[in-house]
Structure 1
Amino acid sequence: MQFNQNYMKPINHLGKTILFILFSVCLVNAQEKYEPTPENKKNREWFQDAKFGLFIHWGVYSVLGDGEWVMNEQQIPIKTYEKIPAFFNPTEFDAKAWVQTAKAAGMKYITITSKHHDGFAMWDSKVSDYNIVKKTPYGKDVLKMLAEECRKEGIKLFFYHSHLDWHHPDYFPRGKTGGSWTGRPESGEWFKYLDYMDAQLTELLTNYGDVAGIWFDGLWDKKDADWRLSKTYSLIHKLQPAALVGNNHHVAPYDGEDFQMFEKDLPGHNTTGFSPEQKIGDLPKETCETINYSWGFNLKDQGHKSKKELIQYLIKAAGYGANFLLNVGPMPNGKIQTEHVEKLKLMGEWLAANGETIYGTRGGPLSARDWGVTTQKGNKVYIHILDWQDESLIIPSWGKKIKSAKLFKDKSAVKFTENAEFGIILKIPKAKLDEIDTIVELELK
């Protein structure tokens, strides 16, 4: 809905007040219309149980080896950037290898960039020729191959889709990025661009089987624009009622969304500065992070996080009741960097031994502490001690009596006392402390 203030000029103050009330009521009613389907609610439960997914940022930008923002960062005009797809020929792309890498890491779903901010489609789009099939020597639909392999292996597939588009002429007025250096005309039809976006989303939701969800990004480029979200979200829910909609807009969830995401931050944190006003809602949650510093392939980026850092981030996310979406940026030849495959394998080995304390859990009864977090499943609470050197750990009581306490790793008993004044005191021999995560399993009465 567009609200033209010029229509208000001849109306007196009372009339303005009445119109404002009517407008507000209509807006509230519109927001209350979305009611998730039973399939959607079931998918939300699955999503919360899944806990770990693979994020894939891959596009023609990988050819330049300078991340997915290279077009904007180097201010490459459209006419020049359009030459890059001719060099994109990922002959070593193997959908099965990608999915097997995710499975070996203990991941339950994959989220891949269908279209990033450069506007290039990584599927056989009929809406625009600016896509991998028509503009690259490779000429194959990688999303279709990946979707088929995910179905075979029981891995669910999400499509990342950018609201922002540095290539399309009707993305106008332009936002904070993709300026005049692109060479686009200083005009355009905004709703024509949104029609184009909805048409491409329709292709993704009708030609690739069951899609677990759509992961939007880029709205922050023009946060005050009329994005027509209710129409787009309704389209998605109509075409695939079970599909989950999430949006990386860095604010509280809008009506029609099914999960809330936090970029490079745990829920409620703002270390990046992206989310000064983002409040935690009631929807399922997800946090995303990179293995090194880059989302897309970056030849110079050697800042790879350690096994400990990555596993502890996964554990913390679970303690906050959130999934962890961990990113890789495949190389232009189609292979995932060896260093990233190795890190994912190590995470999978840890989850093979300790996944019971992560999968299917919810955030535990205690909020995050300096020493770690808690997760819970049924009558079991898992105390994840991530940073503690002493043999005694005192935690607050939450009103439930403990039946037993043991180390999850070897099932040996952990001595504990419950004190009305101090709370719960756990005694763990130093020799039993684990460098990454000492897990104490509490069974409640």
Structure 2
Amino acid sequence: MKGNVIVGQSGGPTAAINSSLAGVYRTARDRGAGKVYGMLHGIQGLLQERYIDLSEYIKSDLDAELLKRTPAAFLGSCRYKLPEIHEDRAVYDKIFEILNKLDIEAFIYIGGNDSMDTIKKLSDYAILTGFPTRFVGCPKTIDNDLALTDHTPGYGSAAKYIGTSVKEIIRDSFCLEYGKGLVSIIEIMGRNAGWLTGAAALAQGEDCNGPDLIYLPELPFDIEKFGEKVRELLEKRSSVVVAVSEGIRLTDGRYVCELGQSVDFVDAFGHKQLSGTANYLASYIAGEIGCKTRAIELSTLQRAASHCSSRVDILEAYQVGGAAVKAADEGDSGKMVVLQRLSDDPYQAGTEVKDVHKIANDEKVVPRDWINQEGDYITDDFISYVRPLIQGDVSPIVVDGIPRHLYRKK
């Protein structure tokens, strides 16, 4: 590489996103990039000319290892939607003026669906204006809903945490006996795709039957049937554990969480903030059956629990970061790196690049035949798909009994 590289992080953080950042930095330096800049808070920060020289923070191999073990976005994130090119060319002119000033040869953006929309628009503008910078997307999302890739970095670690936490909740729920039983409802992230919620079934094993019911947003949710199912289960056992996606909807399209509260916050991409699904269902079951209930939201912990990271996930996140730089260095633009599964036993995956226009603003959902006929659990095919992604551990670097992270002062 003859010029410089700039990298940004966007959307919801993960336990593996900084491993991709480390992969971008190391590969860019190995390929001869002059400087590797980091956008502070993504494209929104770049518009404000907020960026850093990453060499001032990653000064040793130990720093790189700390970065790979640090959750959340080291550079800071954003949810900023670029306007359509015909609507506001001035925004693009400003971005490209900054890129020109910094002599940027490759622009790498680590993110999910909305971030790939940014790569699409920037690469289109570069073609329109003949600008030489190349734009490549690096996949990241715990939601695992990016098209054309077998899975996304960040998902494996989140799935590992969910499976572990659900198993621990199941153990806890059997400690005491309650009069009419106990129903624990676990709310798991997932607006339109149930990849995370399905991972609750990973709690299954020789020492655990796993959750009793799993509901994904891919299918309409029937509250009355749900209540009947829980009542039937309580006739056989004293404790019932249910995993639900935050985005489950009724047949009329309303989110279940909207039944208990108004959802007012909407982000730049038109996404409603979803929360309260477990609370509403726990109140419903308590009222219908009269048993004790618990509503449990895994919330931010799903994406921030780096102490429970999957080794496969961290390694692949690093790999796709490096592959994004390699693709840009070899002339690709308007592309995203994808992971292609080569085999299940032993598990192997490689990287390719795909046209970002076929990825941006699309969503990959759980196949219907990976959900059981009743719509209240997942099938063995789902388990076979996700289990290789959670293998191995990444030991944190511990200081005074607590994991150490790479820290950037604001």
TM-score over 0.5 (shorter chain): no
- For the pair shown, the structure with the greater C-alpha radius of gyration is 1
Q: TM-score, normalised by structure 1?
A: 0.22
The TM-score with structure 2 as length reference comes to 0.23
Q: Which has the higher contact order (CA 8 A, sep 6+)?
A: 2
